Structure 1
């Protein structure tokens, strides 16, 4: 993978999809939001609070934004699976940040009450939610050139080798070390935004 990705054609909106139990307050979402705000492009950054249900999450994106192929999806962890599914639905580009790989089996162990990461809110994860994951987790990859994978070898939750195997032939940035949260994300923000086609939001 080259150190710099070529800038793609300009996109209309960046739609960020957070991970399981996460929120728009995640540091990666906050960092990207700041870039768009500083570039006077806040209206082109979208990051909704997703419901627990995978089916409801995907329906929410459709209802709120009516996406097109000119939008770009960026997803972290479970949001990476959603970004993949939506990119295939709309023919869009997507960026996957330590994406969940066939997560239904692992997340089946979380059925019951769970806590949100950022506000300690009580959430409920159900068997039906797991079944919804099963229905989308094997979505195909029709055009690898529309995908950018960012995978950390130090991810403590998802094996980076599973990520690179699942997204073989896509453009990939392999981060040595780091963690599931991609604490070093700021170092790769320029490449992510260039791939997404948001030239004006590139940090200086």
Structure 2
């Protein structure tokens, strides 16, 4: 069975709202293995290693990525490396420059993990910058995103296969759950 791999954002966790909505939806359908939502390392290179292992373990069944914020940045890199389709939800397309504003002491509010974000981690992010193949992507953005400028995502991912652009909203993507049926079809988990 194809799987949908959810990639959470910076200082988030595998139990974010969007992850929970997806996990609950497939559980209600009797397909609990259809969504994989791992807790990722805060270190970019280690997070990518974790995701690559999950992708490689499920490639034969089919993998679609869905990434939110920093997870959207990771999804872009992985989609190109493995030639996968990906859904990018308010992606942090300029992650290497954006996260330089967060260098230093960090505490993840979801996991309480405390760590130090350094310039070496920005170099790890720089290594993940890729040129996107537009037909792989469904870009989901809300113009009211208070964290990221939605125009950067539009510029980075022009001519995507599918675009959902909504006025207002926020970084969490308001009413994300209304897209669950379409997301599961995009990931070929359901066909109806």
Quote the Cα distance in structure 2 between the aligned partners of 1:121 and 1:52: 9
Q: Which residue of 1 aligns with 2:88?
A: 96
Q: Of 12, 18, 24, which aligns to 1:34?
A: 24
Quote the Cα distance in structure 1 between the aligned partners of 2:53 and 2:135: 27
TM-score when normalising by structure 2: 0.91
Query: RMSD of aligned C-alpha atoms?
Result: 1.7
| Post-superposition offset of 1:101 | 1.5
| Post-superposition offset of 1:192 | 2.1
TM-score when normalising by structure 1: 0.86
Quote the Cα distance in structure 1 between the aligned partners of 2:25 and 2:154: 28
- Structure 1 spans left out of the alignment, 5+ residues: 1-10
- Structure 2 spans left out of the alignment, 5+ residues: none
Alignment of 1:73-84 (within 5 A): 73-84=65-76
Structure 2 residue 185 is the aligned partner of structure 1 residue 194? yes
User: What number of residue pairs does the alignment pair up?
Assistant: 189
Contact kept, 8 Å, 2:2 with 2:187, in 1: the verdict is no
Q: Which residue of 2 aligns with 1:131?
A: 123
Cα distance per residue 1:50-84 (max 9 Å; x no partner): 10111111111222441427200000000001111
Q: Which residue of 1 aligns with 2:104?
A: 112
Structure 2 residue 144 is the aligned partner of structure 1 residue 154? yes
Q: Which residue of 2 aligns with 1:185?
A: 176
